[in-house]
Structure 1
Amino acid sequence: MTTESLPSNIYAIADIHGRADLLDVMLASIAEDAAVHGSKPVVIFLGDLIDRGPDSPKVIDQVRATLDLYPGSRLILGNHDFFLRELLRGTLTSEDAVNWLDWGGVATLSAYSDRPVPDLANIAADIRRDFPHHVDVLENALTFKEIGRFCFVHAGIRPGIELIDQDEYDLRWIRAGFLDHLDVFRHIVLHGHTITASLRPEIHSNRIALDTGAYRSGRLSAAVIRDDELSHFLCTELTEEGAIRIGEWRPE
């Protein structure tokens, strides 16, 4: 694929974790930007749409609408999204269920259903009945996406292994071995999963980290890629007055 055939404007958004309020402002800004540039953007969601924050079902609705609106946009399945997908498939293991509830799944299940949270089978049946489009979103998610110089994943990649041969577990969970790897990869890796120490996007020699802890920091971040180059970041954040502001951010 040549550079000329690549999308001219790509937005990569990581780890929304139920913060539909922050995502709403982000998507409105992307729509305004698309109008200015005269072309539809491609939006890549890097996973972890759900858990911890208050509005996980609404976030999936927002993501579905965005995927429909902007051709070529995709969802990368995060480790938290994986738990919900497995629940809806009826294949969630007991161990994963316990871990999921400990790691924020209670917020998601409570947002979907008034049933007691341990009643996973009936909650899953309710979701499949009332939110079949959410099932479709999760089932159509990718584990990674290559576009030009960039690779979009949730957690990262295992060094020394071709993308097509990567273990899906690594793509959703990896930290050690990836975050401390300093050599270049075949692509620049855009990822979330691990909250940055600065709570801002961080650029490294071989990767760009985008998880700015939206569910607890009140800051959701997106990388803006123009013509196969990182242009800048967009950040929506909650102010002390309770408003949500958005601004462009460029690292020094």
Structure 2
Amino acid sequence: MRIYAIGDVHGRRDLLEMMHAQIESELERDAPADWRIIHLGDYVDRGPDSKGVVQFLLEAEKRDSRIISLAGNHDRGFLDFLAGPEPDGLFARYGGKETALSYGVDIDFTNAEPCRKGHAALMDAVPADHVTFLADLLYSASFGDFFFCHAGIRPGIPLDRQDSQDLIWIRGEFLNYPYLHPKVVVHGHTPHDEPEVMANRVNVDTLAYKSGILTALVIDGAQKRILSVTGDISA
């Protein structure tokens, strides 16, 4: 099985489309016996077209069940804001304004009343199937010797007993852990200029919304490689 694990998209539908076009070209050329495309979360916020990213992924998963999307902390933050407007929550503080704008809503997060009005308008603007798609996102996936999630795992806890909050939020305890895990963890969440390839984990978050570089890890049997697409900076 060939696996493509794609890092944080953050509203860059242009890069996501480029990545899928590259993957489709490779799959057509090489015709592997089986394949999966795994998106590692954070589809919304910061970039210009969160709505387009969600729609793209929703349609892609409908076309082929081998395309998998995992939850990121920003995706959960979007749902949390839809459930109750908080002018100082994750969505408001870290790129939610751009997400709302992609749905045609300009929210003023400066205080509770305009935030509430913006929330009401956003509730009307977000399609029900987008909410369902985000709410149904899995927190992890596992194939062979690799474990896939958004942020990482808590060391010492069995993979099947990881807390969902750790899977989308953890940093220090996971990033600084020097030993092997039960499987190699493939993740995003913590951006770097270049992908991090280490013995116990691989980080493919290359700050796509700002750098214009979207990165994936390709696993094909014993062969592993990095695949990147490049577009406009801060499109």
| TM-score, normalised with respect to structure 1 | 0.83
Aligned to 1:13: 6
Aligned to 1:249: none
Preserved contact between residue 97 and residue 106 of structure 2 (Cα < 8 Å): no
Aligned to 2:86: 94
Select 1:105's aligned residue among 82, 96, 115.
Answer: 96
Once the two structures are superposed, residues 151-204 of structure 1 have per-residue CA deviations (whole angstroms, 9 ceiling, x without a partner) of 0010000000012221211111111110000100001000000012xx121111
Aligned to 2:121: 123
Preserved contact between residue 43 and residue 70 of structure 1 (Cα < 8 Å): no
How far 1:12 sits from its partner (Å)? 0.6
Structural mapping, 1:34-183, within 5 Å: 34-39=27-32, 41-88=35-82, 90=83, 92=84, 94=86, 98-117=89-108, 118=115, 119-128=117-126, 131-183=127-179
Letter in 2 for 1:176: G
Moved over 4 A (4+): none
Once the two structures are superposed, residues 29-51 of structure 1 have per-residue CA deviations (whole angstroms, 9 ceiling, x without a partner) of 11111111225631111000011
Please list every run of 5 or more consecutive structure 1 residues that lacks an aligned counterpart in the other structure: 1-7, 245-252
Equivalents in 1 of 2:140, 2:97: separation in Å?
Answer: 27
Letter in 2 for 1:125: M
CA RMSD of aligned residues (A): 2.1
Equivalents in 2 of 1:233, 1:18: separation in Å?
Answer: 21
Moved more, 213-222 or 97-106: 97-106
Equivalents in 2 of 1:116, 1:188: separation in Å?
Answer: 41
Preserved contact between residue 192 and residue 211 of structure 1 (Cα < 8 Å): yes
Equivalents in 1 of 2:167, 2:93: separation in Å?
Answer: 21
Q: Percent identity?
A: 35
Once the two structures are superposed, residues 74-112 of structure 1 have per-residue CA deviations (whole angstroms, 9 ceiling, x without a partner) of 111000000112234x2x4737x5332111111001111
Structural mapping, 1:193-204, within 5 Å: 193-196=189-192, 199-204=193-198
Size of the aligned set, in residue pairs, is 227
How far 1:142 sits from its partner (Å)? 0.6
